Each structure stands twice: as structure tokens, then as C-alpha cells.
Amino acid sequence: MRLTAEKLTRSFTRVRQGTNILPAVKETSFALPEGSLTEITGRSGSGKSTLLHMLAGLLRPTAGCVLLDDRDLYALDDRTLSALRAKHIGVVPQGQTGLRSLTVMENILLPAMLTGVKGMEPEAEALMERMGIADLRGAKPGELSGGEMRRMSIARAMLLRPEILLADEPTGDLDDENTARVLSLLRQAADAGTAVLLVTHEQEAKRYADRVWRMDAGALVMET
């Protein structure tokens, strides 16, 4: 599956300080090739996360469109878009993303539960093993460290083996060892055919990426 952005624009309106319209992403065209790991880097507030959310179908663009193969995500009704995202797009949101009333295992199984896919427990176990959180399957997110929570979130996004994986700062709270572990896992996913987009400040990520883009004031610039 191929994810493409065409002239994607997103502005935010700040009402409090007068009606300022702040452009976060400006007419960005971008394609995420299958079987590759693409990194987007850039300063905080440069529009990286906004672009990722639009690509994931989670934030409606002010202008432009996002195509999954030839389907415009934002032309779909919510039910179809949600089903499409659950099945084909894995999203690792930034920050703490655990559902506090569910265990780690249940958190990871969430996409399967939402789509009604059964028998994913062995896959979840395997992902927890690879992420180094196998001992925490029965723990609640409140009992996890920031790094453990990030790894749980990545495992959840990868559970249904999506064709597209969008990760927003997935190594944000991780130590070097776990950063390497996660980056290596994303690399393996890309090698297995997944189109991986990695939004990060992590310098080490460049070593794993096929392409690196830099986001600068809402515009995407090819770095390598």
C-alpha cells in the first residue's frame, strides 16, 4: 500500500491573540514508499507531528489530500476511515498512550479487539518479547516507566502487521539500549515490506533510515 500526500496544508487559528492563522504545514507533497524507513526530523513546532497526524487520517487538512493507494482518506466516511486505519495504518502517538484501565497485554491487543480479529495473543506475546516487556503483560500503564509505555505503544501499533507504520517520537523516553532495540525493530518491519515513517529528534535514527527529510517551518526538505 502506498501513502501519498498531495499539497497538504494545515493551519491553526489562534483566537486568543486576535485571529491569527498559523500555518503548521504548507502545501507539502510527499510519498511513503513500501518497504522503506523514512525519517522526518526537524525542530520542535516545525509541523512534523501535524503532518504525521494528517497522514494517519487523524487530523483533517486545511487543503490538499492524503491518498492511500488511490483512495482519499478524508473523502471517506468515519467508519470506513477508522476501519482502514485499524487494518492498514499503525500509529504510535507521541507521549503517554496507555489506556490506564487495561493491562499491557490488553493495551497491545486493542487494535485486534476493535477490529474483531481473534487469536492475536501469540503475536502480542512475541512483540512484548521483542520489546523487552514480556514480564509486564499483566501490569497496568500506571505501573510502567515512560520507556516501557513507549514500547507497549509501539507493540500495539505493530500488532496487526500494518502495511504503513507512522511513529511519532517512538524513542522519546528510551535509553540507548532500548532506542537501538526499537529502531532495529522498525527497520525489520520496513525490510519486511512495511512503509515506516519515523518522526524523531533521535540522531541515531539516521543510521536506520532509507531517506531523511527535514521539516522546516511547515515545509519538507529532503536531507539525504
Residues within the interface to other proteins (CB under 8 A)? 49-50, 53-54, 56, 58-60, 78-79, 82-83, 85-87, 91, 93-102, 106, 110-111, 113-116, 140, 156, 168
C-alpha cell at 92: 504510535
Q: How far is the CB of 49 from other proteins (least distance, A)?
A: 6
DSSP bridge partners of 65 = 6
Residue 99 or 221: the one with the smaller Cβ distance to other proteins is 99
Q: Cα 180 vs. chain centroid, distance in angstroms? A: 18
Identity of the residue, 82 or 188, whose beta carbon is nearer to other proteins in the bound complex: 82
Are 164 and 137 contacting, i.e. CB atoms less than 8 angstroms apart?
no
- 14 neighbors 22 (Cβ within 8 angstroms): yes
Compute the least distance from the CB of residue 33 to other proteins, in Å: 23
The DSSP element (H or E) to which 122 belongs, if any, is helix 121-131
Smallest gap from Cβ 146 to other proteins, in A, equals 14
The minimum distance between CB 93 and other proteins, in angstroms, equals 5
The two beta strands, 71-72 and 63-68, are: antiparallel
Distances, alpha carbon 24 to alpha carbons 13, 27, 140, in Å: 10, 10, 35
Q: How many CB atoms lie under 10 A from the CB of residue 32?
A: 22
CB of 89 to other proteins, least distance (A): 8
Q: Which CB sits closer to other proteins, 9 or 96? A: 96
Question: Min. distance of Cβ 54 from other proteins in angstroms?
Answer: 7
Cell of 28: 507539502
Q: In the complex with other proteins, which residue's Cβ is closer, 114 or 139?
A: 114
Nearest to 137 by CA among 105, 108, 97: 105
If the CB atoms of residues 22 and 191 are measured against other proteins, the closer one turns out to be 22
8 A C-beta contact, residue 49 and residue 104: no
By C-beta, is 12 or 191 nearer to other proteins? 12
